[in-house]
């Protein structure tokens, strides 16, 4: 599964109309310069430690991810990425792409795109670079299952007896709930014979947010969907859905979870009023030619 971004507007109640106009103009130029100063390239095995750190940093303020770190089997985003991504890179069904700042070579963010029913590209021409790149095969075998942004449902079904014991852990019950809901959605959105793309994960470093990185990473995949006259979908985290909406995705189904019903510990008081984790809304979103999907529960 992109991550929590907040736009803070500061209004100065002073008569500086001309200055504000100049700053707005400069801000627009900076934003445009940022967009043209990045390359979209295939991620490689050597990138995994950096990508794992970016993913962890991007989800640092995600309440569900934070709560899951307190389970009997703590879910830690960085460790999860370090373990799963090298295995993902062995597949031909996913492309993992990264946004790289031209001037410094710094990785700004990454996106994991899954392909169902159509062949992933083997070469592409990055923006601002005339050379072509041959990406290494990357990703998890999708098969008839679709991945969520942060975990795969079949991981919860690997050992039936072990799962019964794990359900003593409220986090395991939460994952069972979200996995079942995801499976229902994926069965509906990807019927037999369907061709589509899936956003498996999207993360942008907090150091590079609000610079068009996420939109560039999403455009790489939505352009492919447009060329093939098909659709793409994502199981969005609570904080990322506006970014997907800005990229043309539309909400088709939601799952509203009361996290406190699954909380192993109270939330930190310094950041969560009353020690409550609150509600967390997963949004299933579709880009392009939408299949006939029921809206589901809300």
What does the domain layout of the chain look like in residue ranges?
17-288
pLDDT grade, residue 82 (50/70/90)? confident
Q: Is the pLDDT of residue 130 over 80?
A: no
Q: Which residues contact 215 (CB under 8 A, 6 or more apart)?
A: 243, 246, 247
Q: Are strands 107-116 and 196-204 parallel, antiparallel or unpaired?
A: antiparallel
Query: In the CATH hierarchy, which top-level class contains the domain 17-288?
Result: alpha beta
Stretch 253-281: mean pLDDT: 91
83 or 33, which is more confident? 83
- CA-wise closest residue to 296 among 195, 198, 182, 201: 182
Lowest-confidence region among 12-21, 145-154, 203-212, 280-289: 12-21
**pLDDT score at 64:** 83
- CA-wise closest residue to 48 among 96, 91, 100: 96
Mean pLDDT for the chain overall = 75
pLDDT grade, residue 62 (50/70/90)? confident
**pLDDT score at 32:** 40
Dihedral (CA of 114, 49, 2, 71) sign = positive
Highest mean pLDDT among 58-62, 149-153, 202-206: 202-206
**pLDDT score at 123:** 65
Stretch 185-208: mean pLDDT: 92
List phi, psi (to 5°) of 110.
Answer: -150, 160
**C-beta separation of 224 from 230 below 8 A:** no
Specify which residues 42 forms β-bridges with: 97
Cα 16 → chain centroid:
40
Whole-number Å distance between alpha carbons of 41 and 121: 12
Lowest-confidence region among 120-124, 146-150, 200-204, 280-284: 146-150
Stretch 133-141: mean pLDDT: 33
Q: Whole-model pTM?
A: 0.72
Residue range 234-258, pLDDT digits in tens: 999 888 899 999 999 999 999 999 9
Residue 86 in tokens: 């090298």
**C-beta separation of 156 from 163 below 8 A:** yes
Q: How many CB atoms lie within 10 A of CB 6?
A: 9
- The percentage of the chain sitting over the pLDDT mark of 90, rounded to a whole number, equals 45
Residue 117 in tokens: 């029913």
**pLDDT score at 220:** 95
pLDDT grade, residue 74 (50/70/90)? confident
**pLDDT score at 110:** 95
Please, what is the end-to-end C-alpha distance for the chain in angstroms? Answer: 21
Q: How many CB atoms lie within 10 A of CB 171?
A: 22
Transcribe 112-181 into DSSP letters: EEEEESSPPPS-B--TT--S-B-PPPBS---TT----SS--GGGGGS-HHHHHHHTTSHHHHHHHHHHHH
**pLDDT score at 76:** 80
């Amino acid at each position: 599964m992109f991550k929590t971004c907040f736009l803070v507007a500061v209004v100065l109640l002073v008569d500086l109309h001309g200055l504000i106009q100049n700053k707005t103009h400069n801000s627009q130029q900076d934003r445009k310069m940022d967009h043209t100063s990045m390359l979209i390239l295939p991620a490689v095995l050597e990138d995994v430690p950096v990508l794992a750190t970016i993913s962890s940093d991007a989800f640092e303020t995600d309440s569900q991810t934070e709560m899951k770190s307190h389970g009997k089997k703590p879910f830690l985003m960085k460790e999860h990425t370090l373990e799963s991504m090298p295995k993902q890179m062995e597949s031909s069904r996913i492309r993992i792409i990264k946004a790289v700042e031209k001037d410094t070579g710094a990785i700004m963010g990454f996106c994991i795109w899954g392909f169902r029913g159509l062949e992933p590209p083997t070469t592409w021409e990055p923006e601002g670079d005339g050379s072509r790149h041959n990406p290494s095969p990357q990703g998890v075998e999708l098969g008839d299952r679709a991945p969520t942004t942060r975990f795969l449902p079949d991981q919860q079904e690997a050992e039936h007896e072990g799962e019964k014991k794990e359900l003593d852990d409220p986090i395991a019950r939460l994952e069972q709930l979200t996995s079942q809901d995801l499976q229902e959605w994926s069965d509906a959105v990807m019927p037999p014979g369907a061709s589509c793309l899936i956003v498996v994960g999207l993360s942008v470093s907090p150091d590079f947010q609000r610079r068009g990185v996420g939109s560039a990473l999403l455009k790489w995949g939505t352009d492919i969907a447009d060329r093939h006259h098909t659709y793409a979908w994502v199981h969005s985290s609570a904080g990322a859905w506006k970014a997907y909406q800005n990229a043309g995705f539309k909400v088709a189904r939601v799952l509203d979870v009361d996290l406190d019903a699954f909380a192993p510990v109270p939330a930190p008081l310094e950041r969560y009023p009353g020690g409550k984790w609150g509600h967390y809304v997963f949004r299933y979103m579709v880009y392009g030619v939408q299949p006939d999907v029921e809206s589901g529960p809300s």
